[in-house]
Amino acid sequence: MRKILLLCLSLLAWPAQAALTVLACEPEWAALVGELAGDRAAAASATTAFQDPHHIEARPSLIARARRADLLVCTGAELESGWLPLLLRESANPRIQPGRPGHFMAADFVTLLDKPQRLSRAEGDVHAQGNPHIQTDPRNIAQVAGALAQRLAQLDPANAAFYETRRADFARRWQTAMQGWEARAARLKGVRVVSQHSGFPYLYQWLGLVEVAVLEPKPGIEPSAGYLAEVAARLKAKPAGMIVRAAYQSGRPSEWLAGRSGLPAVALPYTVGGSDQAGDLFGLFDDTLGRLLEAAK
């Protein structure tokens, strides 16, 4: 009898354990929610660092998660346009629909680069609003953190002060870390790189790297052997220092070109979880710089 009652009371108390259920589209936003909300939010990511966030399926497990979410944190700028609209519809969850406070798109809070000149599917996977891979510049993370903390407070006003404290703490630590990264990365400035996918304009802009070629003939279109040979020929005239790809991408095109040109091929973690060292947002940039510096030796 007593046990039943205690069980019931603990059931009632259940929602107090994590105030918010958060579904992030990519691991970096789940990690950022963790930094800002600690144990007040239970955050899960819809994709892993080894999946291409353009292309996943609205699987039953994701629909079930979206159904229960109070807050959806995604990159936006059409990165998830292949699966998120369907996931939102199937979730039958009004709280996270576009226009509601539970619908947070990080790209709305940063300035996007590479807005395409021509909108056509003949150009491959182009995004009308600009390049969506914003997480590779820590200054973008800082900007999104501010907006996200406010959103958390709006959705869970009871913990507003808590979120504000954590935001201020994160901002301070992040600022210090960024100064460290920028000092370490000074010698990367002006280094010429080849990218497998145009997924790094924000990283390059931050560090002053120069992209001289992209291995995909059009965004999202896999390079053919012929196209790779063409790039290799071009690199003879305009040499580069390294070939960069994200952890989720197939290593074949970069490795092929690396074998042919003798350039080092670097797999960057790209997001939290993309390497053993990239266990959180700080580790992500530590490891990214470590790998770039190693290749630029």
204 lies in the binding site for another protein (CB under 8 A): no
> Other CB atoms closer than 10 Å to residue 6's CB: what's the count?
10
CA end-to-end span of the chain: 71
Distances 73 to 26, 28, 42, 144 between C-alpha atoms, Å: 8, 10, 12, 10
Select 52 or 280, whichever has its Cβ closest to another protein: 52
Rule CB under 8 A: which of 115-144 touch another protein? 121, 128-129
Q: How far is the CB of 224 from another protein (least distance, A)?
A: 11
Choices 54-62, 178-186, 228-236, 276-284 (CB under 8 A): range interacting with another protein: 54-62
What is the smallest separation between the CB atom of 83 and another protein, expressed in angstroms?
Answer: 5
Task: Based on the shown chain and the rule CB under 8 A, indicate whether residue 89 belongs to the binding site for another protein.
Answer: yes
Q: Does residue 251 belong to the site contacting another protein (CB under 8 A)?
A: no
Q: What is the closest distance, in whole angstroms, from the C-beta atom of residue 54 to another protein in the complex?
A: 9
Rule CB under 8 A: say whether 232 interacts with another protein.
no
Burial state string for 161-177 with b = 16 or more CB within 10 A and e = fewer than 16: ebbeebbeebbeebeee
Which residue, 126 or 193, has its beta carbon nearer to another protein? 126
Binding flag, residue 1, another protein (CB under 8 A): yes
- In angstroms, what is the minimal distance from the CB of 16 to another protein? 9
In angstroms, what is the minimal distance from the CB of 85 to another protein? 4
Report the residue number, 5 or 183, with the smaller CB distance to another protein: 5
Per CB under 8 A, which region of 43-51, 179-187, 257-265, 285-293 contacts another protein? 43-51
* CB 179 to another protein: min, Å: 24
**What residue ranges bind another protein (CB under 8 A)?**
1-2, 4-6, 8-9, 11-12, 15, 47-48, 50-52, 55-61, 63-64, 67-68, 76, 78, 81-86, 89-95, 97-99, 103, 105, 108-109, 121, 128-129, 146-147, 150-151, 153-154, 157-162, 164, 221-222, 248, 250
